[in-house]
A and B are shown apart, each in its own frame.
Chain A
Amino acid sequence: GDSVTQMEGPVTLSEEAFLTINCTYTATGYPSLFWYVQYPGEGLQLLLKATKADDKGSNKGFEATYRKETTSFHLEKGSVQVSDSAVYFCALGGSQGNLIFGKGTKLSVKP
């Protein structure tokens, strides 16, 4: 069935470092792909999405490109800030119309 695998955390970076969080998926067809972010004590919120191959989603300096050939949707940011500390979830639109999440990657950014 459909599934999402993302890199295990936690990830600890210094401010202004480059961030990559890997995400790969298994699905039939070409689902929409998403990154959600969960700040401490809050619910998840949509960070970015891509709906077809080679699409690039971007928001708040974060980017991810839908790569059909490698079934990947890696999240990147060129220069992280302390305020980016959160848990990041990769997700795909399942065949039943639902959303399937990865296990989440916790990011801590130190000043």
Chain B
Amino acid sequence: EAQVTQNPRYLITVTGKKLTVTCSQNMNHEYMSWYRQDPGLGLRQIYYSMNVEVTDKGDVPEGYKVSRKEKRNFPLILESPSPNQTSLYFCASSGRSGWEKLFFGSGTQLSVL
């Protein structure tokens, strides 16, 4: 089954404790992206990647890191989380670019205390 898998689904952590949210897709997609969703602000792009070893900043990259060492994986790293990073995070992938149909993961609800 074609899918984008994010883990964990829920995460509660404390300020400053490094964390990684994993994202994996099984569709051999070149394009992958991370979004955060906040009430009243909609969906905002954090980082995206057009292919292996190619990553670009989205609208709200501050405080986040990503890597794309393999085609299927695109982890999101918070080196020193802060409470303003409490949000619902989504990973997505598509064939070659965001102009094609995006497949979304189920989301990761992060709370930073």
Contacts and interface: CB of A to CB of B under 8 A. Distances in A.
Nearest to B107: A43
A94 to B, nearest CB: 7
Contacts of A102: 42
B90 interface: yes
B97 A97 contact: yes
Nearest to B50: A97
Q: Chain B contact residues (Cβ within 8 angstroms of A): what range?
A: 20 to 34
A99 interface: yes
Interface string A93-107: 110111111111000
A100 B40 CA distance: 16
A83 interface: no
Interface stretch (B13-21, B70-78, B98-106): B98-106
28 contacts: A31-B99, A32-B99, A36-B102, A42-B106, A42-B107, A43-B90, A43-B104, A44-B92, A44-B102, A45-B104, A46-B102, A49-B101, A93-B98, A94-B98, A97-B31, A97-B50, A97-B97, A98-B45, A98-B48, A98-B56, A98-B58, A99-B33, A99-B45, A99-B102, A102-B42, A103-B40, A103-B42, A103-B43
